Amino acid sequence: MNNAYEFSARTIDGVDLPLADYRGHPLLIVNVASKCGFTPQYAGLEALYRKYHGRGLEVLGFPCDQFGHQEPGDEAAIKSFCSLTYGVSFPMFAKIEVNGAQAHPLFKYLKEARPGLLGSEAIKWNFTKFLVGRDGVPIMRFAPTDKPENLEADVEAALGSV
């Protein structure tokens, strides 16, 4: 695969969605969880989405239960939690795995394209973030500890690319 737009994923509502629908838009792709110490980052992700969506940014949330069983709910519970607790309006997807043999192909691609510290491809925890350019090619990988509000300069740069 040459870019993120060549993948598809099931939405939180159970619809298979080709990421080609987002072609030409920078993407911030995040593995999320509802019971994690980083869960309050939902507020920052939503703030980024609201601030930059009009300029083309898409934030895509992918719930994952591979880290400390911090996403125990089903899609309905996750959707309700995100909406009621953080007012999430950015696209959310069905629960996936990001590591191992059953890892979603999108995350296999992202990890290979943008390895982490010391070249490690494994995702270490929830709220790992990948910024993808308008061309669908991953630009940067951010650690779970990187707060969404600290990504604005990189988001601005991705929005400026044509």
Active site residues: 36
CA distance linking residue 105 with residue 113, whole number of Å:
12
Contacts of 136 (CB under 8 A, 6+ apart): 2, 3, 4, 5, 6, 19, 23
Residue among 73, 46, 72 nearest 61 (CA): 46
Strand (E) or helix (H) holding 62: strand 58-63
Structure letter (DSSP) for residue 31: E
